[in-house]
Structure 1
Amino acid sequence: MSEVTMPRLSDTMEEGIVAAWLKQVGDQVKAGEILAEIETDKALMELEAYEDGVLEQILAAPGTTVAIGEPIALLGDGSGASASAPAAAPAPAA
């Protein structure tokens, strides 16, 4: 499984806003296909997949501001392993 991270789409960009997801959880993705639209400080840009896989989890909902390099989605092989293993969350206080 691999993380899809917020890319640096311009020299002045420090964070981006996930404007829309063009693929949904469970969709097969091929390298070069457009996954999402990212709003930068200057323009609306398309985010391409860098590898083949299945979109297993979306970590940043549309409208979410995310820093460069932070994960916004997970790509896997379609086995659903990531769905049963959520991202590390703090344990509830006793």
Structure 2
Amino acid sequence: MAEIIRMPRLSDTMEEGTIISWLKKEGDRVETGDLLAEVETDKATMEMDSPADGVLLHIAVKEGTVPVDSIIAIIGEEGEDWKAVLAKAEKENATAAPAPAASQEAHSEEPQPAAG
């Protein structure tokens, strides 16, 4: 079964991380503890380890800044359908996210005519 890899919280104050580079590429076999990517946090640049054994099936974020817990990659078995795994994870994220609160900036006043 494929495993979703998310941007880890590498420090207590970390809200987002920047993927500087991937040390593995799609299709590479990885083992738990292998270095996957270099991630820059609010404090330092760190190396991110693989949390699972398998094949790096998909890199969702090639480089750039993403919030903590964002999906950044998928590790699974060779030939596994990573697109279905990604779609399921994104659907679960959408249903788990709280509904946005009603905007506090809604205006109930009538617009005033322009002075002429």
TM-score when scaled to structure 2?
0.69
Unaligned runs of 5+ in 2: 91-116
Q: Which residue of 2 aligns with 1:92?
A: none
| 2:79 pairs with 1:79 | yes
Question: Can you give the 5+ residue segments of structure 1 that lack an aligned partner in the other structure?
Answer: 90-94
Residue in 1 that maps onto 2:3: 2
> Partners of 2:57 and 2:10 in 1: how far apart?
24
CA offsets per residue over residues 12-32 of structure 1, 9 Å max, x none? 100000010000000000000
CA deviations on 1:45-70 (whole Å, 9 max, x unpaired) are: 010011101000000011x1111111
- More strand by proportion, 1 or 2? 1
Map 1:36-47 → 2, pairs under 5 A:
36-47=37-48
Letter in 1 for 2:52: E
CA RMSD of aligned residues (A): 1.7
Asked whether the 8 Å contact 2:16–2:67 carries over to 1, the reply is: yes
Q: How many percent identity over aligned positions?
A: 46
SS at the partner of 2:47? strand
Q: Whose relative contact order is higher, 1 or 2, with alpha carbons under 8 Å and at least 6 apart?
A: 1
Moved over 2 A (4+): 85-89
How far off is 1:78 after superposition?
Answer: 0.9
Equivalent AA in structure 2 for residue 37 of structure 1: E
